[in-house]
Homo-oligomer: A and B are copies of this chain.
Amino acid sequence: MRKILLAILFMAACGMQVSAQQNLFVAQDIESAIVHDDNTVTFNFKAPDAGKVQIAGDFAEKAEGQHIGGMVGAGLIDMAKKAEGIWTYTTKPLKSELYSYQFMVDGVPTLDPNNVYVYRDFATLSNVFIVGNGQADLYKVNKVPHGTLSHQWYHSDGLKTDRRINIFTPAGYEQSGDKKYPVLYLLHGAGGDEDEWVTFGRATQILDNLIVQGKAVPMIVVMPNGHAGMEAAPGESSWGFYKPIHLKEGTMDGAFEENFHEIIDFVEANYRVQADKNHRAIAGLSMGGFHAMHISRYYENAFDYVGLFSAAVMERPGQDKGVYGNFKETLKKQIANGMKLYWIGIGRDDFLYEANADFRTRLDKLGLKYEFLETEGGHVWTCWRTYLSVFVPKLFKE
């Protein structure tokens, strides 16, 4: 017996497969999503008996109207079968970016068993990889000082429940004595939750990297859950391990915005915060942009910086009660109170492009000065990560 144990320890010490558990599941003995120095990427997948294996990825050229196997927005690439039953494909050099993909194995969506990096977008998982040598170097964990990410819970009297909130404090926060920090409130989209900016958004990496490069000032980033009907992200609440569903109540009905002061109060009570308008920013993507617009208007003198990323800012007839009421008057008030930055970013292919153009016309009429960035791309993370990395360096510089 002792010999067996020593053999196992020896195997472990030599880098062989000895899992924590007694190997419930063993990975295929190949690597995949290998990012080469020239920014090409090789995928491998072992399936000797499969008839057809494809990659559904956001790096693939999308054929017009392509909509196969439940995948939209991602192109499909055929993989080639090698003699050993391994399917393989190498891309051309890719632009620096964080990419998502799955395999389609005889039409069935299949995660890559040789890539353990998987993010959830609403009700689906996809594998991810990062191609560096450019913009996406900001999305990597680099050898730099790192901030702290805390998954915390605050109590909401208004929503009558405890709610989960992710809070990033910059590197050095714990060791900085009485120093107080500015705060960015960063809001997610309709399919997301408090974890979305941490996973696909790479917010903590972007902040770590911009701060160490001297491009952003050290700041706290607060990422709450924007669905007023939810306690927390799927799997993190008392709802258990359920299949994510969109909420019928508590999403874009005003309850999140009306109770937002509870989040500010919680942050300012529990963190060393510069608790004034000069040092508060709010930004969000899609539904989160809608939230940021309304919250900054409703709390008309609370934020000096507002960021709308592909924001859902269309007019919604009939939506004029509570926090949504007196739209023009409160916006005028917000303008009169003064702001340092009202920032709008949108991709040319975004389905909200026209709504944002309409919204800018309304702002122009009201005399609200904003910065505007139009980029390539649609309603996708490629844009939102870029917008965050452009927006954050503009904050809290006096």
Query: CB within 8 Å of B: which residues of A?
Result: 1-2, 4-6, 8-9, 12-28, 31, 33, 46-51, 56, 58, 70-74, 100, 102, 105-111, 113-118, 120-126, 128-130, 140-143, 145-146, 148-153, 162, 164, 171, 174-175, 188-192, 196, 232, 234-238, 240-241, 243-248, 251-252, 270, 285-287, 312, 314-317, 351-352, 354-355, 378-381
B142 touches A26 (CB 8 A): no
Report whether over half of chain A's contact residues are helix, strand or loop; otherwise say mixed. Answer: loop
**Which residue of B50, B247, B315 contacts A108 across the interface (Cβ within 8 Å)?**
B50
B residues near A244, Cβ cutoff 8 Å: 116
Asked if B111 and A108 make an inter-chain contact with CB atoms under 8 angstroms apart, the answer reads no
User: With A19-B121, A252-B13, A312-B9 given, is the CB distance from A129 to B355 under 8 Å?
Assistant: no
For A31, A109, A171, the residue with the greatest tally of chain B CB atoms inside 10 Å of its CB is: A109
Name the B residues within 8 Å of A235 (CB-CB): 116-117, 141
Within the assembled complex, what's the spacing in Å between the Cα atoms of A113 and B49?
Answer: 20
CB distance from A247 to the nearest CB of B (A): 7
Measured CB to CB, the nearest residue on chain B to A150 is B150
Query: Closest Cβ of chain B: how far from A339's Cβ, in Å?
Result: 26
Of B33, B56, B145, which is within 8 A of A241 by CB?
Answer: B33
Minimal beta-carbon separation of A85 from chain B (angstroms): 10
- Which residues of chain B are within 8 angstroms of A22 by Cβ–Cβ distance? 72-73, 351, 378-380
